[in-house]
Structure 1
Amino acid sequence: SEKVLTKEEFEKMYSNPKEYKGKKVDFYARVFVQPEKDKDGTYIQGWAGLNNSMNTVIAIKDTKLDVKVEDIIHVKGEVKDTFEGKNGFGASLKTPLILASSIDKSDYATAFAPAKKTIEVNQEQAQNGYKISIKKIEIADNETRVLFSIKNEAAAKFSFYEFKSSLVVNGQQFERTDNYEAKYPKIPNDLLPGVTADATLAFPKLPVDTGEIQISLEGSSENYELEMKPFNFKIQY
């Protein structure tokens, strides 16, 4: 069986897809145009690179495929040809045409920021009936993810101040990053009593491979008589 193109070969392929006809590919892409269907299959246009790069046309002989704009997909298949057409602005377009053998839905972290190291944390702190649990920290090449949950066991709503979240590593402070492409889960604006919500915060890549991470998370209760201090966590990694 043919070897799949390496990441470097795959990126090089974009300059002249015709040369790579028949080569096997295995990659991720973010759908950015509503897919089209006909009696033979489904046709998708997606970005295979970060920051809207590596425009790719993907065809699959499957008319029932449920894929929409903004979905992140895992594609296996082969290079078919160079696709020549026009983009939304009327400019001529030359992109790889990929004939897919399989397309599965994926997510941003798996596709574009896989964890190189996972720290199982499982630390919980409670104040006035509000519990914040940090489950794990995922360290990727281009970001650091904090996966946590908040449980409201109090009688009043809880507001989580996402914008006040900070992370300190070996004396250096990092603010959270807005990763709009990732669409990570967020804590609802007003967390109702009895509700538990999971969320992911993204921070920049860590400067060192080992050290101590301090994470500070803040929020307030709708019951203003309750004093809420920051929830501070310390994690060795």
Structure 2
Amino acid sequence: MKKKLLVSALLFAMGASVLTGCGGGEKQEEPEEIVYLEESEIDSLFTNPEEYAGKYVKLSGQLLDAPETDGETTAIQAWHDVENYTQNFIAHTDAADGIQNQDYVWVDGKIDGTFSGENTFGGSVECPLIVDATVTKGSYMEIVVPTIAEISPAVSQDQNGIVVTVDKVEYAEDETRVYVTINNGTDYNFSCGTYSAKLLIDGKQMDQDTMSQTLYNSPELSELSYEVMAGTSSSGTLIFPAIEQGVAFQFILPDAYSDNYDLMFTNYMIDVPAQ
């Protein structure tokens, strides 16, 4: 973003100052009514911002460039549709401490019509302008694949002193996150087919979602190790396609074996009851 992203805000502020100076003897205006856009109106905001000027909106998004500050005003440009890199908007705020390029954010502010200007690459930009905004940092999971519901079944299976536990399940609109812990209580290294783990629902097999970006974009999550050293444990998250909450399923962890070849294993098959 160039400083041109801040020009309209500065001109607006100057105009407001002039009007204030000319109206010293007038009656103080009533506080404006704050009306927020409905969720169903969000898409229309990006095609016709002028129609909603003066209303308020709450948007989520990801910054596509570093914030730009001029005096007390900071401008950010972000995608609202993060997965498709569309529906960009610009927000002006007086508080963006800690917000950086590519951060995921919530923006709450007043729609000021259409911004027309240039981006970092010199290309023209026309998009909604949000002023007097509050900008709050979020995470990929909170913004893109928020949890709708979660359960903590804490169900386990023990084979030869190696315990596999399904600790938690998070249900999102586009994916299911299964949190698993492997606890190796033996004196030998243990290996398993982490990348081949599956769900079994009503007799149908469900493989992991290899296209999911959640693990890549969520440093707070860990991958489940396929090798667990003697006397240690590993906890991680496996991403599957979305499933219906309240439906029982079976978590399957195949290809288990120990460095002690005298220990025999079958696939771990853990029943997660409906909750």
1:59, CA displacement in angstroms?
2.3
Q: Map 1:126-205 onto structure 2 (within 5 A).
A: 126-155=158-187, 161-177=193-209, 178-180=211-213, 183-184=217-218, 185-187=221-223, 189=225, 191=228, 196-205=233-242
| Cα offsets for 1:29-88 (capped at 9, x unmatched) | 12232223333233222221241222122221125x112233222222222332223456
Match of 1:72 in 2: 104
* Greater C-alpha radius of gyration: 2
The alignment of Structure 1 onto Structure 2 pairs a total of residues equal to 235
Q: Is the deviation greater in 188-197 or in 88-97?
A: 188-197
1:15, CA displacement in angstroms?
0.7
Provide the aligned C-alpha RMSD in A. Answer: 3.0
Match of 2:141 in 1: 109
Looking at structure 2, the residues matched to 152 and 235 of structure 1 have their Cα atoms a distance apart, in angstroms, of 21
Unaligned runs of 5+ in 1: none
Looking at structure 2, the residues matched to 59 and 24 of structure 1 have their Cα atoms a distance apart, in angstroms, of 13
Looking at structure 1, the residues matched to 265 and 100 of structure 2 have their Cα atoms a distance apart, in angstroms, of 42
When residues 39 and 188 of structure 1 are mapped into structure 2, their CA distance, relative to the original with a 3 A threshold, is farther
User: What TM-score comes out, normalization by structure 1 length?
Assistant: 0.81
Unaligned runs of 5+ in 2: 1-32
Give the residue type in structure 1 aligned to 2:169: I
1:93 corresponds to 2:125: yes
Match of 2:113 in 1: 81
Match of 2:90 among 57, 66, 77: 57
Looking at structure 2, the residues matched to 11 and 204 of structure 1 have their Cα atoms a distance apart, in angstroms, of 26
1:28 corresponds to 2:60: yes
1:236 corresponds to 2:273: yes
Match of 2:252 in 1: 216
SS at match of 2:61: strand
| Contact 2:54 2:110 (8 Å CA) reproduced | yes
| Cα offsets for 1:7-41 (capped at 9, x unmatched) | 21122101121222222112221223222333323
Looking at structure 2, the residues matched to 31 and 193 of structure 1 have their Cα atoms a distance apart, in angstroms, of 44
Looking at structure 1, the residues matched to 140 and 175 of structure 2 have their Cα atoms a distance apart, in angstroms, of 12
User: What TM-score comes out, normalization by structure 2 length?
Assistant: 0.71
Report % sequence identity.
Answer: 26
| Contact 1:27 1:74 (8 Å CA) reproduced | yes
When residues 15 and 218 of structure 1 are mapped into structure 2, their CA distance, relative to the original with a 3 A threshold, is same
SS at match of 1:18: helix
Match of 2:42 in 1: 10
